[in-house]
Chain A
Amino acid sequence: MSGVRAVRISIESACEKQVQEVGLDGTETYLQPLSMSQNLARLAQRIDFSQGSGSEEEEAAGPDGDAPDWAGAGADQDDEEGLVKFQPSLWPWDSVRNNLRSALTEMCVLYDVLSIVRDKKFMTLDPVSQDALPPKQSPQTLQLISKKKSLAGAAQILLKGAERLTKSVTENQENKLQRDFNSELLRLRQHWKLRKVGDKILGDLSYRSAGSLFPHHGTFEVIKNTDIDLDKKIPEDYCPLDVQIPSDLEGSAYIKVSIQKQAPDIGDLGTVNLFKRPLPKSKPGSPHWQTKLEAAQNVLLCKEIFAQLSREAVQIKSQIPHIVVKNQIISQPFPSLQLSISLCHSSDDKKSQKCAPEKPGQEGHLYVLEHNLHLLIREFHKQTLSSIVMPHPASAPFGHKRMRLSGPQAFDKNEINSIQSTEGLLEKIIKQAKHIFLRSRTAATIDSLASRIEDPQIQAHWSNINDVYESSVKVLITSQGYEQICKSIQLQLNIGVEQVRVVHRDGRVITLSHQEQELQDFLLSQMSQHQVHAVQQLAKVMGWQVLSFSNHVGLGPIESIGNASAITVASPSGDYAISVRNGPESGSKIMVQFPRNQCKDLPKSDVLQDSKWSHLRGPFKEVQWNKMEGRNFVYKMELLMSALSPCLL
């Protein structure tokens, strides 16, 4: 064996899979190999528990006698039950097994019972009625004890409730304040932007979200104002929420725009008094947060407007430079006229209250311009906001939407220019101020003329709806009592920024500058022309004949304003003629021409011998017009004409 080399023998099972059957043709059908768990189950099936216990029985029979003293009890039990017959000493887990077994049995029984009970066919469960305990004590004592016990319980409940009530009453106040703070905060949150930084609540006053570029941060702080003495009476306007506003935004502010006729002393510059408006009797104590915040926001907006205006005032080059001194911007829209825009900010300090009260005679605010400034700054905000509006085409240049569309919509040069207008706030407001001033000056000129001159009358009809840079007035010149026939002069005055355009009824356009003298002269010359026109109209009505008419007479004394106008009319019979010359300055001169035969003092002519020549009109005689009766020129003229017309009756 040793000499022989070790031979390797491979052992393998004859067949890995068991053959189930071999067919007649020799093919073998295999059984599928068992899986691990199936294998285990198969092996478990093979164990014969009864055999095992039987062997144990046999084994137990042997040593039974050897150790009867310690196994006796177990054996007796075994005998009694007749179920488990083995020697406990040989198996350490037997007690566990025993218990498990008994538990299993009981469980099985219980399960069976329960399943039977559930069916309710054969068995039902009924509560077992227990017999009451036999009364050991007398019923009176028992009653007493039970009553006492229940009373004590009730008392305890009442006491507990009272305690809770008192506690809640005391806590109620604090809780209420706390609750109020939260609800107030909620209301604040609905109107203002808030954010939490650390343990503070900060709010945003600024107009940044509306498009403002003003660098002021404009934050305010929300304060909880709950530490109030509960014993004292709570003031009526008490609010558990308070706001802390930056010190530079406290108080109230407004922009004051005014136009002054004369330039003030240089010493007065920049000392716009912060005169107090009669403050509404504010209740003692702090105002409500909403009013506080609104006031602060207004201060912020006023500051922004003023900052923008003063920046523009410095940048814009104009013939007369704008002056920015302290809180005032001064500009000269027209010569000897001063537009001042000032920021009035009054805080509630003692210092400002000492300020001298403003003289009441000062030129008032131009409230319209102040309002327009606010409008303009908001428009400005909107512009900055809308320039970055989304969505935006990827290929288009950034900028205003109208600007972007100007290419595809083929805007021409004028339209593009109108988009690109980079007119600043100050320029706009100066233009508006100019217009307002020009309008008021025109109105004053017309009014003063109308009150000074009674004949002819001036009527001015102002349009109610105006542009900020243009307004119009219709001026009618009439004679009292003759409105229906004397309608020749109707003027449309378009008041612009720098000048007044007068559109005559016949379509002539005359441009007047801002000087009121021009307008006054123009109106005077028109009034003088009106008289002559009126005579013409009157002649038509009276049946007189117009011999000559001229708006601009080249003869006679030269008028300093405009030209004199003249008319000559002849009576229906031709006997008389009236010649009127009316100049704006020289006034009216009326001459009457008589027939030759009525002139006694006419020297006898050698040429005109024949009596027929006596029907020719002779020389003119001037009428003493101021001695004529009649309330106005046209009425006097009517009287004169009717006096010279032959009586038809």
Chain B
Amino acid sequence: MGVTCVSQMPVAEGKSVQQTVELLTKKLEMLGAEKQGTFCVDCETYHTAASTLGSQGQAGKLMYVMHNSEYPLSCFALFENGPCLIADTNFDVLMVKLKGFFQSAKASKIETRGTRYQYCDFLVKVGTVTMGPSARGISVEVEYGPCVVASDCWSLLLEFLQSFLGSHTPGAPTVFGNRHDAVYGPADTMVQYMELFNKVRKQQQVPVAGIR
């Protein structure tokens, strides 16, 4: 349990997604990070069914149901800017029952998969974001284990990020600012992933350089 920063890494000029990921992982291995298996974060979008919207004409909110291999027994359900529910994996079965209220958006499944690296107190996960068959981008997650207050260790995280991301180092995630000096939790990580996925989804119109 630590503080996590999730960011998107742009694809390097003239390289494919795969090559950029390899470049990053090689950098990490050079640093001395230890490979520790793989990780996977997936996200499925549900929208509220038309029958339940009512006559008020309110817009249907989107709900994201996510899983993270770091929390293998949990299932996260998030609304944009809304609450985050953490449940056990039986929640997926419940969603099937709630078909009348929440309908799964077609071909909305987006996920990131990659390798998990341990470097002292840092846990680094470099993954390829895929939507359907095509790779859309690169996600970089860095977790600093010993601390749970984001503001206390952000500069440390930033320094570490700079060491292998170079010029692509991200700014502080918005979730850090939401609750000042509050304890960072798994839900905050999932919110960051949700934002990342949304960003990647919006990108899809613009063809990403390097994907052929």
Contacts and interface: CB of A to CB of B under 8 A. Distances in A.
Contacts of A38: none
Given A416-B72, A416-B73, A410 B86 contact: yes
Interface in B105-132: none
A407 B1 contact: no
The 10 residue pairs across chains A and B that have the minimum distance between CB atoms: A407-B88, A410-B186, A407-B73, A410-B74, A410-B71, A410-B86, A406-B73, A407-B74, A412-B70, A412-B71
A396 B87 CA distance: 11
B174 interface: no
A408 B74 CA distance: 6
Interface in A377-425: 395-397, 404, 406-413, 415-416
Contacts of A416: 72-73
Contacts of B185: 410
B90 interface: yes
Interface in B154-204: 185-187
Contacts of A413: 70-72
A411 B90 contact: no
29 contacts: A395-B90, A396-B88, A396-B90, A397-B90, A404-B88, A406-B73, A406-B74, A406-B88, A407-B73, A407-B75, A407-B86, A407-B88, A407-B89, A408-B74, A408-B87, A409-B74, A409-B86, A410-B71, A410-B76, A410-B86, A410-B185, A410-B186, A410-B187, A411-B71, A411-B73, A411-B74, A412-B70, A413-B70, A413-B72
Using C-beta atoms within 8 Å of the partner chain, give the interface range for chain B. Answer: 10 to 19
Nearest to B145: A414
A248 to B, nearest CB: 45
A410 B186 CA distance: 7
Contacts of B73: 406-407, 411, 416
A409 B72 CA distance: 11
Interface in B66-98: 70-76, 86-90
Interface of B: 1, 70-76, 86-90, 185-187
B117 to A, nearest CB: 14
Nearest to A410: B186
Given A404-B88, A413-B72, 15 more contacts: A396-B90, A397-B90, A406-B73, A406-B74, A406-B88, A407-B74, A407-B75, A407-B87, A408-B86, A408-B87, A410-B71, A410-B76, A412-B1, A412-B70, A415-B1
A412 B1 CA distance: 7
A287 to B, nearest CB: 53
Contacts of A406: 73-74, 88
Nearest to A409: B86
Central interface residue in B1, B74, B89, B185, by most chain A CB within 10 Å: B74
Contacts of B89: 407
Contacts of A395: 90
Interface residues of A, number: 14
A415 B1 CA distance: 9
A308 to B, nearest CB: 29
Contacts of A410: 71, 74, 76, 86, 185-187
Contacts of A404: 88
Contacts of B72: 413, 416
Interface string A44-59: 0000000000000000
A163 B72 CA distance: 87
Q: Find the residue from B73, B87, B187 having the highest chain A CB count within 10 A.
A: B73
Contacts of A415: 1
A407 B76 CA distance: 10
Contacts of B70: 412-413
Nearest to B190: A410
A413 B118 CA distance: 13
A404 B73 CA distance: 9
A406 to B, nearest CB: 5
A410 B188 CA distance: 12
Contacts of A408: 74, 86-88
Contacts of A411: 71, 73-74
Contacts of B74: 406-411
Contacts of A396: 88, 90
Contacts of B76: 410
A296 to B, nearest CB: 44
Contacts of A397: 88, 90
A393 to B, nearest CB: 10
| Residue of A395, A404, A413, A415 with most chain B CB atoms under a 10 A cut-off | A413
Interface in A470-499: none
Nearest to A415: B1
A354 to B, nearest CB: 60
A415 B186 CA distance: 13
Nearest to B36: A413
A461 B191 CA distance: 50
Contacts of B90: 395-397, 407
Contacts of A412: 1, 70-71, 186
Nearest to B89: A407
A352 B185 CA distance: 63
Nearest to B186: A410
A409 B86 CA distance: 7
A407 B90 CA distance: 9
A396 B94 CA distance: 12
A404 B74 CA distance: 11
A578 to B, nearest CB: 43
Nearest to B88: A407
A397 B90 CA distance: 9
A156 B88 CA distance: 90
A408 B185 CA distance: 12
B4 to A, nearest CB: 10
A396 B93 CA distance: 12
A188 B205 CA distance: 83
A367 B29 CA distance: 49
A396 B91 CA distance: 11
Nearest to B91: A407
B68 to A, nearest CB: 8
Contacts of A409: 74, 86
Contacts of B1: 412, 415
A412 B186 CA distance: 9
B41 to A, nearest CB: 13
A408 to B, nearest CB: 6
Interface string A524-536: 0000000000000
Contacts of B71: 410-413
A396 B90 CA distance: 8
A626 B146 CA distance: 53
Nearest to B39: A413
A411 B74 CA distance: 8
A397 B71 CA distance: 17
A411 B75 CA distance: 11
A394 to B, nearest CB: 11
Contacts of B186: 410, 412
A507 to B, nearest CB: 14
Interface in A575-615: none
B83 to A, nearest CB: 14
A409 B76 CA distance: 11
A409 B186 CA distance: 9
B209 to A, nearest CB: 35
Contacts of B187: 410
A293 B86 CA distance: 51
A402 to B, nearest CB: 11
A613 B80 CA distance: 86
A509 to B, nearest CB: 13
A421 to B, nearest CB: 16
A293 to B, nearest CB: 45
